[in-house]
C-alpha cells in the first residue's frame, strides 16, 4: 500500500541516524540537536554518535527503534540502513541528503529546520513502501531489503547460470553476470543501471532484471507482488558468487544454491513534504529538466 496522507503525530522523541563519513554531517547533527532542544523534544542518538555529541537533558543515547520518528542524515544508503534497523516498528523516517543523488532523502541540510517544523505541525505525509524478504538457502540466513536483492558472479570473469521459478512454475534460465530482484522503490537504483524500468512506488511488484545476459531475448520483467520468486544459481568455476542486499549486506553463494524472494510483511514508512512528487524527483535527480527542479511554471504544460 502507498499512502500520501497528512499525518499529525504525537512526537516527543526523535531518533538520529547519521553517516559519519559524509562531509558536514557533524554540523547537521548538531543543528538538529539544537532544533530539538528548542522544541522541548528528546533526541535519541545512535550508539555510533555517543562520543561525538555530549549528552544533556534533551539528549539520550540508545535504541532509535523507540523513537516516534527518525531523521536519517547522509543519503539513500543511510536511509536503507535505518529502514532495516527499524523493521517492524512502523517508525517513519525523514531523510536528509548530504550526498549527490538521493532519491529517498527528502530534504537538504539547508531545509532541515523547515522540514522538521512541517513534520511536527502535521504537514508531512507518510508513504508506505513495500520491502522484500530474502532467504539464502546455502547460508541459512534471511534478509530484509528495501531496494533490491542481487545475485552476482563475484570476482570470477565467467558468467553464472540463473534459473528462475515464479511460484511453482519454471520461467526459464540464462547465462549472465547475475540478476537483480528489486522493489518499485529500488527501481531507480541498480536495476535502472542494468536496464530495468522505472516503477512508480504507488505500484507494487517485484522487478526481475538480468545483469548483462548472454542473450538478446532475455528482458527485465515486473512480476506480481504476491508471488514467491526462487532463483537457482550454478557455476562450474568456483564458489565466488555472492548475494548482496541493498548494496550493503553480503553473503556467499554456493554452487546449486537457491535464493527465495517474496514481498515482506513489514512496510517501510517514509516522510515526504508537500509539493514534492515522485515525478519531480525524477525530473530533478535524472536531469530531465536540464538539471533544474521541475516546479516552475515554465515546466508545466
Catalytic residue status for 76: yes
Closest CA to 8 of 90, 127, 128, 120: 120
Kindly write down the DSSP assignment for every residue of the chain, as one continuous string. Answer: ----EE------EEEEEE-TTSTTHHHHHHHHHHHHHHHTPEEEE-GGGTTTS--BTTEEES-GGGSSEEEEEE-HHHHHHHHHHTTTT---EEEEE-SS--SS--EEGGGHHHHHHHHHTT--EEEEEEEEEEEETTTTEEEEESSEEEEE-TT-SS-EEEEEEETTEEEEEEEESEEEEE-SGGGGTHHHHTTPPP--TTS--EEEEEES-S-TT---EEE-TTS-EEEEEE-SS-S--EEEETTTEEEE--TT-EEEEEEEEEEEEEEE-TT--HHHHHHHHTTTTTTS-TTSGGG--
Residues paired with residue 126 on neighbouring β-strands, in sequence order: 5, 271
Between CA 85 and CA 87, with CA 86 as vertex, the angle to 5 degrees is 95
> In degrees rounded to 5, what are phi and psi of residue 79?
-65, -40
Write down the catalytic residue from 76, 148, 177, 246.
76
10 Å CB burial of residue 43 (0-12, 13-18, 19+) is buried
Give the CA dihedral 215, 212, 193, 84, nearest 10 degrees: 110
User: Annotated active-site positions, please?
Assistant: 76
Amino acid at each position: 500500500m502507498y499512502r500520501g496522507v497528512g499525518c499529525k503525530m504525537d512526537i516527543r522523541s526523535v531518533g538520529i541516524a547519521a553517516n559519519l563519513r559524509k562531509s558536514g554531517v557533524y554540523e547537521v547533527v548538531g543543528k538538529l540537536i539544537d532544533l530539538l532542544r528548542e522544541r522541548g523534544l528528546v533526541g535519541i542518538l545512535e550508539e555510533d554518535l555517543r562520543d561525538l555529541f555530549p549528552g544533556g537533558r534533551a539528549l539520550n543515547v540508545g535504541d532509535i527503534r523507540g523513537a516516534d520518528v527518525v531523521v536519517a542524515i547522509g543519503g539513500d544508503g543511510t536511509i536503507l540502513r535505518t529502514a532495516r534497523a527499524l523493521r517492524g516498528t512502523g517508525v517513519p523516517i525523514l531523510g536528509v541528503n548530504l550526498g549527490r543523488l538521493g532519491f529517498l532523502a527528502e530534504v537538504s541540510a539547508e531545509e532541515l529546520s523547515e522540514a522538521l517544523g512541517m513534520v511536527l505541525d502535521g504537514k508531512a505525509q507518510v508513504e508506505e513502501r513495500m520491502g522484500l524478504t530474502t532467504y539464502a538457502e546455502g547460508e541459512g540466513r534471511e534478509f530484509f531489503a528495501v531496494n533490491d536483492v542481487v545475485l552476482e558472479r563475484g570476482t570470477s570473469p565467467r558468467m553464472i547460470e540463473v534459473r528462475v521459478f515464479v511460484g511453482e512454475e519454471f520461467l526459464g534460465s540464462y547465462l549472465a553476470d547475475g540478476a537483480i530482484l528489486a522493489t518499485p522503490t529500488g527501481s531507480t537504483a541498480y536495476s535502472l543501471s542494468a536496464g530495468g524500468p522505472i516503477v512508480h512506488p504507488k505500484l507494487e511488484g517485484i522487478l526481475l532484471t538480468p545483469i548483462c545476459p548472454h542473450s538478446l531475448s532475455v528482458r527485465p520483467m515486473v512480476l506480481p507482488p504476491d508471488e514467491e520468486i526462487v532463483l537457482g544459481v550454478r557455476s562450474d568455476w568456483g564458489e565466488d558468487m555472492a548475494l548482496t542486499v541493498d548494496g550493503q549486506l553480503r553473503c556467499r553463494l554456493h554452487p546449486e544454491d537457491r535464493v527465495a524472494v517474496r514481498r515482506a510483511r513489514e512496510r517501510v514508512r517514509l516522510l515526504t513534504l508537500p509539493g514534492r512528487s515522485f515525478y519531480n524527483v525524477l525530473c530533478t535527480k535524472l536531469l530531465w529538466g536540464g538539471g533544474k527542479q521541475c516546479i516552475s511554471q515554465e515546466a508545466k504544460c
